[in-house]
């Protein structure tokens, strides 16, 4: 029995890799406690910070706190790992590795918090007139990338991996990658030009004559996603959009109607004047159209056509969606038809008159 007790004592003291089982069990309990009470600890920290944030009028601190939930969740685990290094009798290479792992967790937690704070910070800056939605998206992605690159460099340095020689060693590989990635950089530069020149933004309706027509969903580093009117997404390389003429309907000031109405030749001058005046009165008094300055509606008899007297109608409506604009056009058509009918005239259609001077006998 005494030998068995001595065996247990020996196993307990030697444990695993020379670390006694008591220290190992204590470390496991610390880590388990950190995971079990992680949510409780996070709620205490966040509730305290939220009470402070609620006293300010700004919303940015609330958004940042919401973004920091996950990084704050790493704090108890990092502290638990640090306590484990104090409990476990680690020395030499193993001790250095354990210490470096804790340092790496600390750096990862800090830079995770910084990366998560990028979005709410740029969201607060989005009220600025110079920061468009696409510029905000690009700046967010670039800032996060820079933050993580710096964080990764610091973590590698902690483990004794120097960045300079590593980059130099990848020189030939980088040249090969650069040669193979020419299209990527062309698209990247084109995307920067599209955003910098404010050619179009997410949400704009754009058209490339004879090629595409749809709503811009996103402008990425390499390509732009456009949702066509059949609801299918179209992914287009940025360089293709930077080299063509793009009509940005999202930037139009007004929608224009430019019609030519054909009336029969038997319509008298008095009837023409009445039709013209009534159509113009309708457009002028309608809330669907604008009548200011150069946007004043134009309704004039403009031409004696081959088979009709032509009445030109040019009117400008406020910017509106496709369905709403078609409703405005429909109402105008109905009223034009009523006006023409009430003035006892008719619409002409292409026709040809044939005159026979004599019939063969």
Whether the Cβ atoms of residue 69 and residue 126 lie closer than 8 Å to each other? no
pLDDT tens, 74-92? 888 888 888 888 777 777 7
Q: Where are the beta strands (DSSP E) in 31-86?
A: none
Confidence of residue 130 (pLDDT cuts 50, 70, 90): low
Most confident region among 231-235, 240-244, 272-276 by mean pLDDT: 272-276
pLDDT tens, 199-213? 888 888 888 877 888
Whether the Cβ atoms of residue 339 and residue 279 lie closer than 8 Å to each other? yes
Whether the Cβ atoms of residue 132 and residue 122 lie closer than 8 Å to each other? no
Residue 314 parent element (H or E): strand 309-317
Whether the Cβ atoms of residue 49 and residue 40 lie closer than 8 Å to each other? no
What is the rounded CA–CA span in Å between residue 116 and residue 144? 8
Domains of the chain and any CATH numbers = 2-169 (no CATH), 185-251 (2.30.30.60), 255-342 (3.30.70.100)
Most confident region among 48-52, 66-70, 106-110, 140-144 by mean pLDDT: 106-110
- Judge residue 47's burial from the number of C-beta atoms within 10 Å of its C-beta, 0-12 exposed, 13-18 middle, 19 or more buried: exposed
Structure tokens at 44: 């205490």
Q: Where are the beta strands (DSSP E) in 164-245?
A: 205-208, 212-219, 223-228, 233-237
SS3 218: strand
């Amino acid at each position: 029995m005494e030998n068995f007790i001595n065996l247990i004592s020996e196993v307990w003291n030697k444990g695993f890799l020379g670390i006694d089982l008591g220290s190992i069990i204590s470390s496991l309990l610390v880590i388990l406690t950190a995971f079990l009470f992680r949510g409780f600890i996070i709620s205490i920290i966040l509730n305290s910070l939220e009470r402070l944030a609620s006293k300010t009028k700004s919303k940015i601190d609330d958004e940042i706190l919401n973004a920091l939930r996950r990084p704050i969740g790493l704090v108890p685990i990092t502290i638990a790992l640090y306590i484990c290094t104090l409990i476990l009798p680690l020395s030499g290479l193993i001790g250095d590795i354990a210490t470096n792992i804790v340092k790496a967790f600390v750096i990862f937690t800090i830079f995770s918090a910084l990366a998560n704070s990028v979005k709410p910070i740029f969201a607060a800056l989005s009220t600025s007139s110079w920061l468009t939605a696409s510029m905000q998206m690009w700046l967010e992605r670039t800032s996060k990338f820079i933050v993580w690159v710096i964080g990764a460099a610091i973590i590698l340095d902690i483990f004794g991996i120097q960045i300079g020689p590593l980059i130099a060693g990848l020189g030939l590989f980088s040249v090969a990658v650069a040669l193979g990635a020419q299209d990527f950089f062309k698209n990247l530069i084109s995307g920067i030009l599209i955003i910098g020149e404010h050619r179009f933004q997410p949400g704009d309706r754009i058209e490339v004559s004879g090629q595409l027509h749809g709503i811009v969903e996103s402008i990425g580093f390499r390509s732009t996603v456009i949702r066509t009117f059949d609801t299918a997404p179209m992914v287009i390389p940025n360089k293709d959009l930077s080299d063509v003429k793009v009509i940005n309907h999202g930037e139009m000031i007004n929608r224009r109607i430019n019609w030519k109405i054909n009336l029969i030749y038997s319509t008298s001058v008095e009837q023409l004047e009445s039709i013209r005046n009534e159509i113009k009165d309708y457009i002028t008094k309608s809330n669907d159209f604008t009548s200011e300055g150069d946007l004043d509606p134009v309704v004039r008899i403009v031409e004696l056509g081959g088979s009709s007297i032509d009445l030109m109608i040019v009117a400008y409506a406020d910017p509106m969606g496709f369905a709403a604009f078609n409703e405005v056009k429909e109402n105008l058509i109905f009223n034009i038809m009523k006006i023409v009918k009430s003035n006892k005239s008719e619409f002409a259609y292409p026709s040809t008159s044939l005159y026979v001077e004599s019939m063969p006998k």
